Amino acid sequence: MIDQATPKRARGVMSAVLASAAAAVLCFGMAAPAQAATGSAGDSSKSKQAEAVFEKVYYAEDPAATLSTLSTGDRALFDAWTSVGKVEVSKSVSPAPITNAAPSVSTDSVSLAAVAAAACSSYTYRGAFYNSLGGKLGDFWTTGQACRTGSTVSSVSFLDGGGKTSALGWRYDGRTTGKGISSNVGKVYGAYTFKLNIAGVDVQQPTYCARTVHTGGADFGDFVCGL
């Protein structure tokens, strides 16, 4: 069991691990998602070996000491497992249909709500991030909504967004969001931070973004941070 409150051990892990594992926040602003590589049997075997080395260090009574005694090959595997790699669309997303035609009914409260609902659409954009060996580390997503008057984008809203991970040592640490309209294009984004913690030290703190984009007649998404 790791004592995560031991300052001496924390300092030891920090000095050892940060030599090759980036601790700075990584913010990915991509015009297009990276394509998933087709893994070979050799790649799979290397990934499993790297995971085993990482678990050996992570669960050790003294992670810093264990890390320092790794062979050159095992240290390379450890570094590869703890280094964040590509980000990609995790699944295809189908937006809600855009319908701007108002119902031909009386102007009571029910029909007004129907008119408002008919003029709005939502879109969810999902991503996943991986370590440098292709091991999946976590997921993140943003759901944005746009309301239109005819072909004019009148308002946008952040409906939902977040991150999740079940990778050993990783946790989802929160989000920041933003929204806006410019030149009749609405944009809604979320920036989602994850942390890799070993013996009480955060050795990786990447931030990934998912953004929805709403024009007068279409909804789509990308991984750009900001509006």
Question: Phi, psi (5° rounding) for residue 52?
Answer: -65, -40
Q: What is the pLDDT of residue 23?
A: 35
Tokens standing for 60?
Answer: 């050790």
| Residue 160, H or E segment | strand 152-164
| Residue 222, H or E segment | strand 219-222
Distance CA 23, CA 203 (A): 5
Is 2 inside a domain boundary?
no
CA contacts within 13 A on the Cβ side of 140? 30
- CB 157 within 8 Å of CB 188: yes
Q: What is the pLDDT of residue 42?
A: 57
Distance CA 46, CA 72 (A): 15
pTM (two decimals): 0.73
Tally of domains in the chain: 1
Tokens standing for 91?
Answer: 């699944």
- Residue by residue, DSSP assigns 27-48 as EE-BSSPPPPP---HHHHHHHH
Task: Give SS3 for 83.
Answer: coil
Q: What is the pLDDT of residue 96?
A: 53
Paired residues of 198 in beta bridges: 201
Range of the domain at 20: 7-222
Is 227 inside a domain boundary?
no
- CB 57 within 8 Å of CB 78: yes
Is 1 inside a domain boundary?
no
- CB 97 within 8 Å of CB 219: no
Is 122 inside a domain boundary?
yes
Q: Which one-letter DSSP state was computed for residue 223?
A: B
Is 182 inside a domain boundary?
yes
Is 80 inside a domain boundary?
yes
Q: What is the pLDDT of residue 144?
A: 95
pLDDT beneath 70: ranges in the chain? 1-42, 91-118
